[in-house]
Amino acid sequence: MTTRTDALPTQEMTINMGPQHPSTHGVLRVILTTDGEVVTRAVPDVGYLHRGLEKIGERVTYAQYMPFTDRLDYLAAMNCNCAWAWAVEKLAKIEVPERAEYLRVIVCELNRISSHLIAFGSYTADMGAFTPFLYGIREREHVNDLFEMICGNRLTYNYARVGGVSGDAPPGFLEKTKEFLDYFEPKIDEYNNLISYNKIFVHRLANVAVIPAEEAVAYGLTGPNLRGSGVPFDLRKDEPYSVYPKFDFKVCVGTGERGTLGDCFDRYMVRINEMRESIKIVRQAVAQIPDGPVLAKVPRLFKPPVGEVYFRSECPRGETGIYLISDGSVNPFRLKIRTGSFVAMNIFEKVTKGLMIADIVAVIGSFDIILPEIDR
Amino acid sequence: MEALAISLVNAVPLLAGVPLWAVTLLLMVVVAAVILVFALTFEGVGSLVLRKVAGDIQARIGPNRVGPNGMLQFLADGVKLVLKEDLIPANADRLLFKLAPYFAFVGSFAAFVVVPFGVGLIAADLNIGIYYVMAVTSLVVIGVLLAGWSSNNKWALLGGMRAAAQIVSYEIPVGMALIPAVLIAGSLSLQDIVRSQSGLLGIFGWNLFHNPFTFFSFFLYFTAAQAETNQTPFDLPEAESELVSGYNVEYSGIRFGLFFLSEFGDMFIVATLSTACFLGGWNVPFFNAGTLPWIWGNLFSLGVFLAKAFTMVLIMMWVRWTLPRLRVDQLMRMAWKYLVPLTFVNLLGVSLWLLVFKGKGIPAMIASLFG
Amino acid sequence: MGLKAYMNDIVEAVVTTAKGMRITARYGVDPREEVTLQYPEERWEIPEGYRGFLHNDIKTCTACTMCVKTCPVDCISLESVRGADKRMVLASYDINIGRCMYCGLCVEVCPPKSLKHTSGYEMASVTRGELILHFIAEDAAEIKARVARQVAEAAAKAEAQAAAKAAEVPSSGTAEVAKAAEAAKAGAQAGPKAAEVPPSGTAEAAGAQASAKTAEVPLSGTKAPDVSSESAKAPVVEPKAAKEGENKE
């Protein structure tokens, strides 16, 4: 007697998701092994955007590397710029004027808002609601206008310099920043009403790809992905750098409000709430910013002392750590960059077991990965 | 159709010598052509309106380059689709691949036959109208399934399988939600259902306000029908962010265009069915279009019907640009755990209501109270 | 799942959907919410300090090569020769705008502030060569020959003066000058060829590096686009180079 499975043998199907796929956020390739709609294994295949950024760092000077950090995470170029500047300053022990630090914090937090807006927008678009994406883009344009005003470009800012920033805020910049914050703050509630608490949206995200706190720490997740699991770890608080200790803000963590702690919805809500905290920081920074120079005296032929340094800063996608070895010449001897998105890819295979194809999209979106950061 | 042919032969002496069947056939072809032109125009304009509505909702402008204010955009799109290369994947099942779009298009187009556009404007007033619509629109799923299978693409296959599961599941709530209207009218003919909602009660004569159960029926039908026609938030078969473009991922040119047209045709059919079954069809409050001369009465009722139907289409677009998409298991859960039981409860409620109150609705009872 | 939770589910779905639809409806009916900028007809205000196409004002440029050295992607190339008054004379100044990443580092280091970002951001070209902006219209070889001639003349003058004094104070320095002058003459007679093998005495800056770069020039295209009204006058069509460029492409 033949059983049913003998008569109708089934087998698993291997599907290639990406590198050209609308919701892999770039050129991520995921090799899916599925049983119908259920994914039995999803292996991320990274490397399609490798440009050798770390190697480039060894052949250009410290100042010349600044524009390349724009390309590290093009949605948060300000944060990467500043991370590089802070790392080099830590290596060479350069005192940075206070006004420059305030300007850096303002642009970093504005960039965090614009980056989280893209994360929010593209995530909703992945979930099938296209409208919030365009609302997010609309608000981001205002941030881009501000950045265009302060540094002259809309995407690759190249604003920070070793020892300060490239230019002081033009007249009217701080007022416009305040105007933007007043305009933007109520929009967050609108997003929540429009999509965040929508029944379908909550159902798509809640209890999907739960990462317990211990596991998140064990896999080295950072940033909103770690905080989504309820771990209140934020480098701006726990390892303060720049002028962050002067500001009052709270670390947003996932609460498991609609499902299990550490699910996709928590990671999503952490980003939404972080935008409010960033608004708070920018408001304080704009109010407190002192006058003064914005660029320390750094010799044109900049040669840091021999030594090595690891500096990490809180970028929108987690910790961006810069490990730098200097041999005393004008070029770095070795440069290694640690990024949040790359680390998130490690846990991807583990959390996607047994999910559906639509959930794979939800997981990719909830990690808010960006490919140039993964591949560098 | 034959009755119309007889009256035509009687009215026009020139046709006296022509056999009746020939006149009937000619009439059929003419009517089919008129409906086809209407359907294509609607589908074209519908795609334009969809994009315009999307633009408005998303704080954009939408297409505005082709023609005045972008009004001819759909013509440009159509020309583009016709002129594009018709690609067939190397390993596709060529016959089925070519056949699939026709199934989808015919399925949605054939339903136009029984749409009661006006007092006398109906291509064929079948006495099984609703049943017929349900039957032919199911043909769409065959087209979608064939497209998914024959493309020899895994994404397309997944889309096709999703479509099959979805449409088969949602047939039940759609049918069950429409039955209250049938019960009230006592007929499956759409024209009879519309006529049953005319009368002196005006807007309250519509089935929507007949009793609480029919009120819910309307919303249940609308939800289920959106799912049956693969509209967002139930557009899983094509889910562009998951399955890239689902079942039609390998199609290009006019074959893709046919799928596209069938989607809009389905949209219109849902709008017309909800209009005819719940919103009074071509009826307007306190005015009987049937009393007007034939031509004016029909034109007037056509206008009323289209206005109602287009409003429904607009609402569908509005929903489409607001909601995210369900997951496939959630979709099934929604059908079997929510819509199917609720429509059955509703059906039971309507039946009991009709039994207890002798077929009278709440407005009619209130009206009789006041004499 | 109890009946209450079941009903709650339905109510919540309806309420949240209605909430969302209210927001989309508000945007849908309010025409003031449209934020589209209809680009070719409407343009946004470009702020001061915008980093558009690069423009070099060659009149003030001192050919110090700071921009070349600081550019992370090597998109600037220049050739220069030492003029009669000991100052560097630009023979060619090209910016490959297709390679430029608008980081602004070159502008920051420019000592005479001759290199600037304009507000230009629109450019379309059919060939890749057109993306190379030539800020000096004249042929580099001609400039070099001319400068060499001037140097030679100056040297000849100096030699004459030196010869007058030579009887009194013969010095090793004059001998060198004379040698240089001879070499310069030879270069001037040789004409355009001189650019490729410049005599050592005259155009030391445009040495081996220059010859390497001249090889690149014919590959490059025709003219710099009108990046802005102020820069429009600087780059002029170079018909010969254009033809060659097209042939090569």
Specify whether the CB–CB gap between B159 and B174 falls below 8 A: no
Phi first, then psi: give them for residue A229, nearest 5 degrees: -85, 5
Q: Which of B326, B325, B328, B324 is nearest to B162 (CA)?
A: B328
Contacts of B88 (CB under 8 A, 6+ apart): B94, B97, B98
For residue B324, the chain A residues in CB contact (below 8 A) are 124, 127-129, 195, 198, 200-201, 204
Query: How deeply is A192 buried, as exposed, middle or buried, from its count of CB atoms within 10 A (0-12, 13-18, 19+)?
Result: middle
- B89 cis-preceded (ω within 30 degrees of 0): no
With beta carbons under 8 A apart, name residues in chain B contacting C29: 56
Shortest Cα distance, chain C CAs vs residue A275, angstroms? 21
What's the pLDDT score for residue A368?
87
Interface test with C, best of A198, A265, A295 (most C CBs within 10 A): A198
| A300 SS3 class | coil
CB atoms within 10 A of CB B80: 11
- Residue C170, pLDDT > 70, answer no
Q: B329, A356: Cβ pair inside 8 Å? A: yes
Cβ-count burial C82-101 (b if 16+ within 10 Å, e if not): bbbeeebbbbbbbbbbeebb
CA end-to-end distance (rounded Å), chain C: 72
By a Cβ cutoff of 8 Å, what residues of chain B touch chain A? 54, 57-60, 154-155, 158, 161-162, 232-233, 235, 239-244, 321-330
Q: Long-range pairs for C185-194 at CB < 8 Å and ≥24 separation?
A: C185/C152, C187/C144, C187/C145, C187/C148, C187/C152, C188/C145, C188/C148, C188/C149, C188/C152, C190/C145, C191/C141, C191/C145, C192/C139, C192/C141, C192/C142, C192/C145, C193/C141, C194/C141, C194/C144, C194/C145, C194/C148
**What's the CATH code, domain C54-145?**
3.30.70.3270
A neighbours by CB contacts (3+ pairs under 8 Å) = B, C
Percent of chain B whose predicted confidence (pLDDT) is above 90: 0
Nearest CB to A148; choose among C47, C101, C104 = C47
In this complex, the residue of A22, A128, A357 whose CB is nearest that of residue B233 is A128
Q: In this complex, which of A23, A37, A138 lies closest to B241 when CB atoms are compared?
A: A23
**Strand C54-56, strand A29-35: pairing:** unpaired
Q: Which of residues 272-331 of B touch C (CB under 8 A)?
A: 318-319, 321-323
Nearest CA in chain B to C11: B338
Per-residue pLDDT, C174 = 53
Tens digits of residue pLDDT in B248-271: 888 888 888 888 888 888 888 888
Question: Residue B23: which residues within 8 A CB-CB, separation 6 or more?
Answer: B5, B8, B9, B15
Cα distance between residue B4 and residue B347, in whole Å: 37
Mutate to test the interface with C, among B61, B218, B222, B316 (most CBs of C within 10 A): B61
Inter-chain contact A60–C72, Cβ cutoff 8 Å?
yes
Per-residue pLDDT of chain A (376 residues; tens, 9 = 90+): 556 666 777 788 888 887 888 888 888 888 988 888 888 888 888 888 888 888 888 888 888 898 898 888 888 889 999 999 999 988 888 888 888 889 999 999 999 999 999 999 999 988 888 888 988 888 898 999 889 888 888 888 888 888 888 888 888 888 989 999 999 988 898 888 888 888 888 988 888 888 888 988 999 888 898 988 888 888 888 888 888 888 888 888 888 888 888 888 998 999 999 999 999 999 999 988 888 888 888 877 788 888 889 998 988 888 888 999 988 888 889 899 988 888 888 888 888 888 888 888 889 888 888 888 888 8
pTM, 2 dp: 0.81
Return the pLDDT at B195: 79
pLDDT score at C245: 41
Query: Distance between CA C100 and CA C52 in Å, rounded?
Result: 10
Kindly indicate the confidence band of residue C64, based on its pLDDT and cuts at 50, 70 and 90: confident
pLDDT at B200: 65
Tell me the nearest-neighbour CA distance from B227 into chain A, angstroms: 14
Greatest alpha-carbon pair distance for chain B in Å reads 74
pLDDT of amino acid C173: 53
Distance CA A230, CA A226 (A): 7
The whole-angstrom separation of Cα A264 and Cα C148 is 72
Query: Closest approach of chain A CAs to the CA of C223, in angstroms?
Result: 26
Predicted local confidence at residue B16, as pLDDT = 67
Contact C10 B338 (CB under 8 A): yes
A-chain residues near C16 (CB < 8 A): 197-199
Of A152, A170, A195, the CB nearest to C104: A152
Q: Is the Cα torsion angle C26, C28, C30, C35 positive or negative in sign?
A: positive
DSSP-derived 3-state class of residue B354: helix
B327 with A358: Cβ contact below 8 A: yes
CB spacing of A151 vs C49 below 8 angstroms: yes
Report the alpha-carbon distance of residue A75 to residue A112 in Å, rounded: 9
B206 vs B17, B115, B221, B282, B335, CA distance in Å? 46, 17, 15, 11, 27
Instruction: Count B/C contacts: CB-CB distance under 8 Å.
Output: 39
Shortest Cα distance, chain C CAs vs residue B255, angstroms: 32
- Taking only the tens place, the pLDDT of each residue in B14-59 is 766 777 777 778 878 888 888 888 888 888 888 888 888 888 888 8
Confirm if B60 and C36 have CB atoms less than 8 A apart.
yes
Q: Are A235 and A319 in contact (CB under 8 A)?
A: yes
In the numeric block, which tokens belong to residue A148? 């265009």
Q: Give the contacts of A117 (CB within 8 A, at least 6 positions apart).
A: A136, A137, A139, A140, A143, A275
Looking at residue A111, its pLDDT comes to 92
The nearest CA of chain C is from the CA of B195 a distance in Å of 32
**pLDDT at C222 exceeding the cut of 60:** no
Asked if the C-beta of C41 comes within 8 angstroms of chain B's C-beta atoms, the answer is: no
Phi-psi region at C205: left, alpha or beta (left = phi > 0; alpha = psi -120 to 50) = alpha
Does B61 contact C at CB distance below 8 Å?
yes
Q: Cis omega before residue C192 (within 30°)?
A: no
- What whole-number distance in Å separates Cα of residue A197 and Cα of residue B244? 26
Could you please report the per-residue DSSP string of B140-151?
Answer: HHHHHHHHHHHT
C50 touches chain A (CB under 8 A): yes
pLDDT in tens, B271-300: 888 888 888 777 777 666 666 677 777 788
Percent of all residues in chain B with a pLDDT value above 70, rounded to a whole number: 92
On whether any CB of chain A is under 8 Å from the CB of C1, the answer is no
C28 and B318 within 8 Å at the Cβ level: the answer is yes
Q: Which residue of C has its CA nearest to B65?
A: C38
β-pair partners for A332? A326
A137 CB within 8 Å of a chain C CB: no
Tally of residues, chain C:
249
Tokens coding A312: 């990490």
According to DSSP, residue B188 is labeled: S
Average pLDDT, chain C: 71
- Round to whole Å and give the CA distance between A153 and A169: 14
Instruction: Give the tens place of pLDDT for each residue, B106-160.
Output: 888 888 888 888 777 777 777 888 888 888 888 888 888 888 888 888 888 888 8
Output the average pLDDT for chain B. Answer: 82
Residue C243 has a CB neighbour count (10 Å cut-off) of: 12
Among the residue ranges A12-21, C165-174, C215-224, the one predicted with the least confidence is C215-224
Domain range annotation of chain C: 1-35, 54-145
For testing contact with chain A, the best of C10, C11, C105 (most A CBs within 10 A): C105
Q: How large is the ipTM?
A: 0.82
